[in-house]
Amino acid sequence: MKKQDGRHLKADAREFAQKKAIELFKKGSTRTAIAEILGVHKVTVGKWVSTYQVKGFKGLRMGKRGRPLGYLRTLSPDQEIFIQKAVQEKMPDQIKLPFALWTRRAIQALIFEQYKIKMPIRSVGLYLNRWEFTPQRPLKRAYEQNPKKVKAWVEREYPAIKDRAKAAKAEIHWGDETAINNECNYGRSYSPKGVTPTVRRNACRFSKSMISSVTNQGKIRFMCYNGAMNSKVFIRFMRQLIKGRKGKVFLIVDNLKVHHSWPVTEWVKRHEKKIELYFLPAYTPERNPDEYLNRDLKQAVASKPPARNGDQLEIQIASIMKKIQRSGERVRSFFKNPNIAYAYI
């Protein structure tokens, strides 16, 4: 009979065999006889009996096999935690490393800087994979952004605006401007290996501008225009926003100079029963849900055939915006982004 290695038995089978072996041993059976009955090697039976005589049945319980966690790793658990925290909380330039983003080379340099360990680049990749760190496109934050003002906006200023809007039965609109040009087809296209696909487009560059607003309830208002934003265009948009409305509009926009201009301020004062204007902290586009509408629009335009002229581009923009406009759930999803969650109702 072929002997089975006791180490290869499953836990339940091994435990049963061990108990049976001890019972037979107590009844006077030899190690060789027990091994023949159970189909294991007599050396295995001998080890079980010896262990039982010293430690009892508790000693027979086999712990987790294999190398212990972290065996032969270059970094200690504390060092791993430090590196992970550094990558999550800071960018390389903030700790005086000559890199813009956290690449494997940058993390390799950080490990050497902190612990004088020359880790191979492949090992850095293995550590990142073990930590479940993946390469991702980073969000952009302006150096000029004031974290204290952002915190005050999220925790105090916006909640106060929301309470005022509720008391006044007003509708909160988040507004923003964007520009779309005929060169925004930046996606990828399948092609045979080594043959780069070609997109045909007009040599001259043209663009269309759009101002829009979104609400927490999923409503969209938008208006296309030519050129840069100015007081007249902004006032025209606000006029359209309040046209035919019974209630009041609270419009939240960024700190563009046009939004603070004298003509805009005077117009808002004259229509204070219909509209109030509020401003996000400076350099905080990620806190404005309308920015996510702009991204949605640009991605959709990029998937369309390149426009031949400005009129065709405007038709594309209007078509896409109307499609998004009909999907309230799609608009409400913008407010589920972690940066906008504070404004979600």
251, 277 contact by CB (below 8 A): yes
Report the predicted TM-score, pTM, of the whole model to 2 decimal places.
Answer: 0.65
30, 66 contact by CB (below 8 A): no
- Residue 4 pairs in a beta bridge with 40
- Please work out, in degrees rounded to the nearest 5, the angle formed at the alpha carbon of residue 252 by the alpha carbons of 251 and 255: 130
Can you list the domains of the chain with their CATH numbers? 6-60 (1.10.10), 77-130 (no CATH), 148-186+204-343 (3.30.420.10)
Dump pLDDT digits (tens) for 150-185: 999 999 999 999 999 999 999 999 999 999 887 765
Dump pLDDT digits (tens) for 204-261: 778 899 999 999 999 999 999 998 999 999 999 999 999 988 899 999 999 999 999 9
Residues 6+ apart with CB under 8 A from 324: 220, 293, 296, 297, 300, 330, 331
Quick one: angle between helices 262-270 and 231-242, nearest 10? 20
The widest CA-to-CA distance across the chain, in whole angstroms, is 107
Residue 342's CB is within 10 A of a number of other CB atoms, namely 14
Q: Which tokens hold the place of 149? A: 């003002």
DSSP 113-178: HHH-----HHHHHHHHHHTT----PPPP--TT--HHHHHHIIIIIHHHHHHHHHHHT-EEEEEEEE
What does pLDDT average to over the chain?
86
The residues of the chain scoring below 70 in pLDDT are: 1-11, 59-71, 139-143, 184-191, 198-203, 345
